[in-house]
Amino acid sequence: MHEDQHERGPGPELANYVGIPITDGARMYGLAWDASRFTIPEHQCEVHILSYIYRGPYNLRIWEERDPVSQKLIAIKHYIDNYQQSRTIWMDGRSHPPEAAPHTWMGFSTGKWDGNILTVYTTHLKWGWIRRNGLRHTDQATLTEHFIRHGDHLTHTSILTDPATLTEPLIKTTDLVLRLQNGQAWLYPCEPVVEIVRPKGTVPHYLPGENPFLREFADLYKIPVGAALGGAETSYPEYQSKLKGTNAR
């Protein structure tokens, strides 16, 4: 819980993009996003995309699918109780489908073993969260993952690339612990409702320069707005020396 606690529960602060190597376009998209979009029925049960879903609290079940005759490994399966997502990692050497093939929440994944490291490459993802405050990657994104088991611990490293929203790869790690569960809830019942009555087709948003929360996070922690709005340079220690001695707000 300690590594990315602010990503959990209600989510991060608005206009908090510190340390994320976003493009100018991704920043504009994030600032145009209105948190009340979560009240629209179409978004209330929106699945967390593959590149994000492993960060939240969830139960994860993993098993193998083998040929019933040869016992050759065909795929490794993941079931994630958060939004009840089933994922297939193909291990039989098949190719990824063409670009025009459907994009999904879990994408199309192929894997291979490198010693005791399972490396997985995923394409055909839908648009999905980079951070749950308006930052999204596009359907051009690809994901590389490494799964490494040490006894009862499983280290999951993800490397997200997207030419439209990221200026360099976004790398995250998660440490999972094996627990044998009895009676654990594996379902995610979600039924959308009309929370706020709006004219049909209305999508909450902010026009450029009109986001009222632009300075809220920066002012709370007394940092320059430019730092709060992220970018690759804000993820490196050298950025602190750039800000040292400045009163930029």
As a whole number of angstroms, the longest Cα–Cα distance in the chain is 70
Residues sharing a CB contact under 8 Å with residue 213, sequence separation 6 or more, in sequence order: 14, 15
**Residue pointed to by tokens 């049960």:** 45
pLDDT tens string for the chain (249 positions)? 666 777 777 788 999 999 999 999 999 999 999 999 999 999 999 999 999 999 877 889 999 999 999 999 999 999 999 899 999 999 999 999 999 999 999 999 999 999 999 999 999 999 999 999 999 999 999 999 999 999 999 999 999 999 999 999 999 998 888 887 766 678 888 999 999 999 988 999 999 999 999 999 999 999 999 999 999 999 999 998 888 766 555
Give the predicted TM-score (pTM) of the model.
Answer: 0.91
Query: How many angstroms separate the CA atoms of 23 and 16, rounded?
Result: 14
